Amino acid sequence: MNHTTTLLFLFVTLISCHQEVPFDAQQKEEVRKAVRKTLYDYDEAIKKGGLTAEFPYLDDSEDFFWTPPGFTAAISFDSVATILKQNASLYKSIENSWVILNIFPLSNEIATYNGKVKSTMTDTSGQVTTFHLLESGTLIKREDGWKLLSGQTALLEE
């Protein structure tokens, strides 16, 4: 064998010996539980702290985008932050609960979800509004926990 053939053989051998660790059922269930807990904690944070309590759950990277109800295109983290800050003082309470929640682990660091959320909002005048939302999105695992990376929320007409 010449030098090039030897190097090629070694390269192919190294690549074929390096196998990805499979993403097994147990790992998927661990991700599913972690993401479910994050989404429930997110709702609880909003219930206790209002709209600005969302910030620790949002990924503030350049990759973040969201399509809120009534929007026809996704908006950036900065735009979402502005909307949350502008509207936070309008509500005395917000309570969201998952009616349906499906979680799809893609890896140990990424999962998608979709479902139906019941939202009850009480404004500062005491007016209570209840509606249902369809939500889907992607969460990413960062050093400080799972974060909402992208998604969309739509008002469900019932």
The whole-number pLDDT of residue 30 equals: 97
- Supply 87's token pair: 């509207």
The whole-number pLDDT of residue 11 equals: 45
Record the pTM: 0.84
Give pLDDT tens digits for 8-51. 444 444 444 545 567 899 999 999 999 999 999 999 999 999 99
Ranges of each domain in the chain: 25-156
Please state, rounded to an integer, the average pLDDT across all residues of the chain.
90
Supply φ then ψ for residue 107, to 5 degrees.
-160, -175
Percentage of the chain surpassing pLDDT 70? 86
The CATH architecture that domain 25-156 belongs to is Roll (3.10)
Beta-sheet strand order (sheet of 65-67): 65-67, 145-156, 128-142, 110-123, 91-105
